[in-house]
Amino acid sequence: MARHVFRCPLRWADMDAFGHVNNVAFLRYLEEARIDFMFRLAPGEGAASFTGGSVVARHEIDYLRPLVHRHEPVDVETWVTDISAASMTVRYEVKDPGTLYARAATVVVPYNLTTQRPRRITAEEKAFLEQFRDEGAVAA
């Protein structure tokens, strides 16, 4: 039931000519959070784990409040829902304490880079994901 929190550093150039963090930069923050979660935190950093490849099948993101560059990182809270045989949904909130900037979800498909084909989630990966599963939160 835990959530993973990635402290995501901003870059000054993430802002666009309107002086806000550009909407596309948020997707980069999600990628960084996902990589921290699936590549660093997940067990078995090898060809047989997520590090060996995964593909984004879908993104959804709602922008709730503008974000401006500052020197402190922003929190990307991450958890998992809809774990199936060959896909899962990573859910995120980009936020500071008390302020929610964006809410998002990514459907991720594990991928075998060698065969260039999707592959099934392993038992070891599933056990890892279950620790961060939180289906109820979706309704919130």
Residues that bind its own copies (CB under 8 A): 9, 11-13, 15-19, 22-24, 27-28, 31-32, 35-36, 39-40, 53, 55-63, 66, 69, 71, 113
- Taking the least distance from each CB to its own copies, the nearer of 54 and 95 is 54
At closest approach, how far in Å is the CB of 132 from its own copies? 18
The backbone region for 30, taken as left when phi is positive above 0, alpha when psi lies in -120 to 50, beta otherwise, is: alpha
At closest approach, how far in Å is the CB of 51 from its own copies? 11
Q: What are phi and psi of 81, to 5 degrees?
A: -140, 170
- Report CA dihedral (24, 67, 137, 128) to the nearest 10 degrees: 60
At closest approach, how far in Å is the CB of 131 from its own copies? 20
